[in-house]
Structure 1
Amino acid sequence: MTVEESIAMTNTTTEPAEGEASASPLISVRDLSVSYDVARTGSKLLAIEGVDLDVREGEFVTVLGPSGCGKTTFMNVIAGLVKPSTGQVLVAGEPVTGPGPDRAVVFQDYALLPWRTVFDNVKFGLEMQKGLKGAGWRDRVQEAVDLVGLSGFENSYPRELSGGMQQRVGLARAIVAKPQILLMDEPLGAVDALTREVMREEIEKLIAATGKTVLFITHSIEEAILLGDRIVVFKSHPGAIKEVIETGLERPRSERSVQSDPRFLELRDHLWDALQGEATAAAVSK
């Protein structure tokens, strides 16, 4: 299947494959728009407009687009951190009215508590979501620490860790409460290229092991292809979905293993052209 054949230009909802039972999407976004008041001008800024998207349970969806196109706003609405101006978001059929234990956010800037050790930073995820209930919470925290490869660093402080290790702490803190959905906002944007590749492969393994549903925001075309089951491409301001593409690459994936795959090359070239057009449009409109 070519890229053109796999693009859903107008229908961004998902249908079950032939032979699969029909099931409601885990995340359903309908006619979503968000605008902000601009105090200095008294006007409104339209951040995203008319977004429709369904995400299946267990799916890994990457969101790609130029800076300022509303990707983070879109994710924050799903997280319950921003209220929509119009439209709605449903998770498991229920309207999103605020943050909840079914969703966890992994931020780009780590957002760790510097006075807490690795173990206590991960524990904070339980404190905020479900509380330290029962006798098994220590095992839960340790399991999350082990899952992200930080065994032996439980008593270390953030200042003693590399950027990649700090991001692992953030990931462990997100998964410790066992949410259904991980919302990841440029989580690898602050690490070097080599660490980024290693972390990308480890995130893929982690998601395969846990079966989480993931919405992953990135500026990297290669990252969007390597991680995503589908790639959602956002238009420039105001943010709206330009196209949705099925990746169609077998897992596991690494940059080294797929960089000569014709499908990877076709996707990369198509996405480059799409984003270059959006970046040009955004520059002209300023």
Structure 2
Amino acid sequence: MTVRESAPMTETSERDESTAAEPLISVRDLSVRYNVARTGNTLTAIEGVDLDVREGEFITVLGPSGCGKTTFMNVIAGLVAPTTGSVTVDGKPVTGPGPDRAVVFQDYALLPWRTVFDNVKFGLEMQKGLKGDGWRGRVQEAIELVGLSGFESSYPRELSGGMQQRVGLARAIVAKPRILLMDEPLGAVDALTREVMRDEIEKLIAATGKTVLFITHSIEEAILLGDRIVVFKSHPGAIKEIIETRLDRPRSERSVQSDPRFLELRDHLWDALQGEATAAAHSSSTKTRATKVQDG
């Protein structure tokens, strides 16, 4: 059975047609290449990527290590410039970081000398959002949304990994961006915390209506969180397929693990990624042998 779907999923099909016709994020023929000074070669990180993301959509991005997922996200964030192609947000070209986009990193990236309150406040400082009297309330609201009330005066070293990631999430949402870009945000926490955080992220996004691009190496996580799953292939990075999940929300691993659709998606994605990982390993081995011959 073919898993890839071209029709919109149930939730998005009910949206206004004009919204569906005008994506919030539009990526066209995107390529990123780097010059490697040590070898004099050019590395193609991603090539020929096209993607439209609707407002309020949760997109999970899945692929083998080194396939360009993070580079793709960084271009949308405005942290990396495309070599060719374009990225627009709400019809405007992305030329750098902006207040409409916020990034949540895997390694938390908290300031160790700042308390929880002041780390979250930093999200407003970066956007110059400390004017007037309302900013303290916004910081407190973001802290409460991620379930950290009572820890405002704590320092990162006093928090668990999951709590530190909540601080990073609060810092991202405090400036009220339209888009959250999340790069393996749960990759550094234990399995139980990861499951809890997945559920809380889903609740948070449902409450705020944010548009999300979420990079993950976990097949189950991609299915549980995503409205659509974008599967990247490797060397160079490009979109292999885009899959509609079509699973009712809210979702948890326990509630959907016996759902035939979940099992179908999991098996399909496993086969797709296994094939890409094998191809990537073969490509790496071939390049290593070629380099040895040249150096020999």
Give the TM-score category using the shorter length.
Answer: over 0.9
Q: In 1, Cα distance between the equivalents of 2:55 and 2:129?
A: 26
1:52-91 mapped onto 2 (5 Å cutoff): 52-91=50-89
Identical-pair percentage: 86
Q: Who wins on radius of gyration, i.e. which is larger?
A: 2
Match of 2:289 in 1: none
Which residue identity does 1:22 align to in structure 2?
A: S
TM-score, structure 1 as length reference = 0.95
Of residues 8, 13, 17, the one that matches 1:17 is: 13
By how many angstroms is 1:22 displaced? 2.3
Match of 2:288 in 1: none
Q: Kindly indicate whether the alpha-carbon contact (under 8 Å) linking 2:3 and 2:265 is maintained by their aligned counterparts in 1.
A: no
By how many angstroms is 1:19 displaced? 7.7
Q: In 2, Cα distance between the equivalents of 1:32 and 1:114?
A: 36
Please give the per-residue CA displacement for 1:168-188, whole angstroms capped at 9, x wherever unaligned: 000000000000000000000
Q: Kindly indicate whether the alpha-carbon contact (under 8 Å) linking 2:129 and 2:175 is maintained by their aligned counterparts in 1.
A: no
Residue 4 (str. 1) matches residue 10 (str. 2) = no
By how many angstroms is 1:130 displaced? 3.1
TM-score, structure 2 as length reference = 0.92
SS in 1 for 2:230: strand
Q: Which runs of 4+ in 1 moved over 6 A?
A: none
Q: In 2, Cα distance between the equivalents of 1:93 and 1:190?
A: 35
Q: In 2, Cα distance between the equivalents of 1:248 and 1:68?
A: 28
Match of 1:37 in 2: 35
Which residue identity does 1:264 align to in structure 2?
A: F
Unaligned runs of at least 5 residues, structure 1 = none
Q: Kindly indicate whether the alpha-carbon contact (under 8 Å) linking 1:107 and 1:187 is maintained by their aligned counterparts in 2.
A: yes
Write 1 or 2 for the structure with the bigger share of helix: 2
Match of 2:212 in 1: 214
Which residue identity does 1:92 align to in structure 2?
A: D
Unaligned runs of at least 5 residues, structure 2 = 285-296
Q: Kindly indicate whether the alpha-carbon contact (under 8 Å) linking 1:3 and 1:245 is maintained by their aligned counterparts in 2.
A: no
Match of 1:142 in 2: 140
Match of 2:226 in 1: 228
Match of 1:126 in 2: 124
Aligned length: 279
Q: In 2, Cα distance between the equivalents of 1:41 and 1:148?
A: 46
Match of 2:290 in 1: none
Q: Alpha carbons of 1:207 and 1:213: their partners in 2 closer, same or farther (altered >3 Å)? A: same
Q: What RMSD, in angstroms, separates the aligned Cα atoms of the two structures?
A: 1.4
